[in-house]
A = this chain, B = another copy of it.
Amino acid sequence: MTDPPHPPPLKRPTLAQVAALAGVSVSTASLAFSGSGPVSGAARERVLAAAEQLHYAGPDPRGRSLRQGRSGIIGVVLEERVLDAFRDPLRIAVLDGIAQETTPGGRGLLLLTDVGESSLVMDAASMDGVILLGCSPRIARSLDVSLRRNIPAVAIGGPPMAGVLTITLDDQQATEFEARHLYDLGHRDIAIVALPLDTSMEPGALTADRERAGTIQVTLDRLRGARAVFPESTGVMARSSLVREGMLAGHALLDDPERRPTAILAQSDLLAAGVIKAADELGLDVPGDLSVVGFDGIALDRIVPHDLTTMVQHAAEQGQAAGQAVLHLMAGESPKPVHFRSSFHRGGTTAPPRSRFPNTHSG
């Protein structure tokens, strides 16, 4: 925060000046703008004319916000830089849902990226409410400030936190459902392509050590769901939810024909798309040689020509629910916690495993 000492504060006309020019009191002028009180048509006319003449653009939000005790701004905390956060179509859909609910009524969304000196931002910004996207414990630090300010907070996913209305997701159960789907098809040797376990972790094999050090709830939950069916399953951790990352992971898991799993459970659709592309490059048929499931249910049908088997998340609705919840909290109400369930989409990327021993094929 080493700005030049005093960025010259532009001089703007004030309501008092307008009132003076119009020959009315400030309160009358105020009413003329807000329309929330009885003002004679003539008075209003004069005020507006005076405003026009002075290039007065309406009440200054700063004064208004100080007086009213609210700013009309809702913060959205992202855990990554914008580029990474919005590369994920799911997150965009969530944000869109939030925007749909909250921006009517003259409210705005303040984007806060929780990187570096973000706590400064949370300090400096005046928000009426805050929505948290993403959910490592590091975020708790930022959150702490909001809570101390008594700013209503809503989180989507993530661990339950005191003072935060959390919109809960079924990551674990949903993944377990998928895993069971693979199990029921006959798969016994599956591999996982996981999302990052921690923001500061390098991608690589999914070792027990790294898992223990993991902090990102959604990754851990989905892992847990997979382990409920395949306790010994392992795999690789990707750097982020990107097709490219999925390809790298896919090659890591599939390049060696000796140790190929019969199915891969990817923790996002984009990762799954990458895995399928890797399989394509290796000449493997999906689902003939390899079953693949994703997670999210984003429209992927143009990236890979497959109809991906996945768990569909209702992202826009999650965003809307978060938006509604924070508005309710701001109004002093006590909205009930919401839980979202994913829906299973049986696409065309899963099938029974090809027998390892074609000659025992009892057909």
Contact = CB atoms under 8 A, between A and B. Distances in A.
11 contacts: A3-B105, A10-B150, A11-B150, A12-B150, A56-B148, A65-B65, A86-B86, A103-B113, A103-B121, A108-B111, A273-B302
A330 interface: yes
Number of copies: 2
Interface in A103-147: 103-113, 116-118, 120-121, 123-126, 145
Contact of A274 (B86, B277, B302): B302
Contact of A61 (B9, B103, B123): B123
B112 A110 contact: no
B87 A92 contact: yes
Contact of A121 (B70, B106, B118, B120): B106
A35 B57 CA distance: 35
Contacts of A111: 99, 108-111
A231 interface: no
B71 A62 contact: yes
A247 B299 CA distance: 15
Contacts of A57: 123, 145, 148-149
A174 interface: no
A292 to B, nearest CB: 16
A123 B145 contact: no
Interface residues of A, number: 77
A156 to B, nearest CB: 15
Contacts of A96: 81-83, 86
Nearest to A59: B123
A87 B92 CA distance: 8
Nearest to A123: B58
Contact of A106 (B64, B95, B120): B120
A125 B61 contact: yes
Contacts of A58: 123, 145
Given A61-B125, A95-B82, A111-B110, A69 B103 contact: no
B125 A73 contact: yes
B103 A92 contact: no
